[in-house]
Amino acid sequence: RKEVEQDPGPFNVPEGATVAFNCTYSNSASQSFFWYRQDCRKEPKLLMSVYSSGNEDGRFTAQLNRASQYISLLIRDSKLSDSATYLCVVNLGTGNQFYFGTGTSLTVIP
Amino acid sequence: NAGVTQTPKFQVLKTGQSMTLQCAQDMNHNSMYWYRQDPGMGLRLIYYSASEGTTDKGEVPNGYNVSRLNKREFSLRLESAAPSQTSVYFCASSDGLFQPQHFGDGTRLSIL
């Protein structure tokens, strides 16, 4: 079983739409959680950390559900520039246990 | 502000050749990492260095060696390249093992 699983998509949404991605993780001992964004042929870039109480950064909201072992990312008022692959990342608290999902592809359509 | 710098950006090797990928960070981070990214596989950790002077294996260390030269630099060496090592390699650094990682822009390596 993979440590982190994401729906690969693709998600194709119109500009202005709200879209949500989920990511499940298998190890209940997971310590920290992040969402990264990766543009085609570029490096992953940190989008936001995910905190237990949930957190928001502008149009982006991240939530953690420890009981069900998933994290989510909500994007409101989608922009064309949001088109990218979104990676969820789970850390078990040691250096060699930083697990990346395979990513969810989002295309925002004019 | 350079962040994490990787060299080279592209490389083509023949099977059996050796090479070293270089990585340097200017953020005074303690921890550094090497990943490979293959289609459909996500990022997989090759080796990491929690702090200067230490290195440890990740998920896919076979065929690779690393050196943490100093706090800034962390190199990845392929001693005898194989076609299965064709991939995009990313170096990353973080302030600590619980902290988010910052990535270099990658090295695209093809082995024929």
Question: A74-100, pLDDT tens digit by residue?
Answer: 999 999 999 999 999 998 766 567 889
Cβ distance B80 to B16 under 8 Å?
yes
- Would you call A43 and B41 a contact, using CB atoms and an 8 Å cutoff? no
pLDDT of A70 > 70? The answer is yes
Q: Report the amino acid identity of residue B69.
A: L
Chain A contact present for B98, CB below 8 A:
yes
Evaluate if residue A1 carries a pLDDT over 90: no
Mean pLDDT is lowest, of A12-21, A49-58, A93-102, for A93-102
Proportion of chain A above pLDDT 90, given as a percent:
75
Query: Residue A75 to residues A7, A11, A68, A89: CA-CA distances in angstroms?
Result: 16, 12, 21, 17
**In the structure, what pLDDT confidence band is assigned to residue B41 with cuts at 50, 70 and 90?**
confident
Q: Is B38 on the interface with A (CB under 8 A)?
A: no
| Residue from the list B98, B103, B106 with its beta carbon closest to the beta carbon of A31 | B98
Give the bridge partners for A86, in sequence order: A37, A104
Q: A54: left (phi > 0), else alpha (psi -120 to 50), else beta?
A: left
Q: Can you give the pLDDT at residue B99? A: 83
C-alpha A108/C-alpha B68 separation (Å) is 41
CA distance A18 to chain B (A): 25
Q: What are phi and psi of B80, to 5 degrees?
A: -145, 95
Write out residues 64-93 of A within 8 Å (CB-CB) of B. 87, 89, 91, 93
- Looking at residue B8, its pLDDT comes to 97
In A26-101, beta strands by DSSP E: 32-38, 44-50, 55-57, 60-65, 70-75, 84-91, 98-100
Contacts of A32 in chain B (CB under 8 A): 98
Can you say whether residue B40 is alpha, beta or left, with left for phi > 0 and alpha for psi between -120 and 50 degrees?
left
Q: Give pLDDT tens digits for B45-98.
A: 999 998 898 999 998 999 999 999 899 999 999 999 999 999 999 999 998 877
The secondary structure of residue A80, as a DSSP letter, is G
Q: Which residues, 6+ apart, have CB-to-CB distance to B75 below 8 Å? A: B20, B21, B22, B23, B66, B67, B69
Which of A71-107 are b and which e, b meaning 16 or more Cβ less than 10 Å from the residue's Cβ?
A: bbbebeebeeebbbbbbbbbbbeebbbbbbbbbbbbe
Q: In a 3-state reduction of DSSP, which class is residue B83?
A: helix
Q: Where in B8-83 does DSSP place strands (E)?
A: 10-13, 19-25, 31-38, 42-49, 56-57, 64-68, 74-78
Interchain contact, A42 vs B104, CB within 8 Å: no
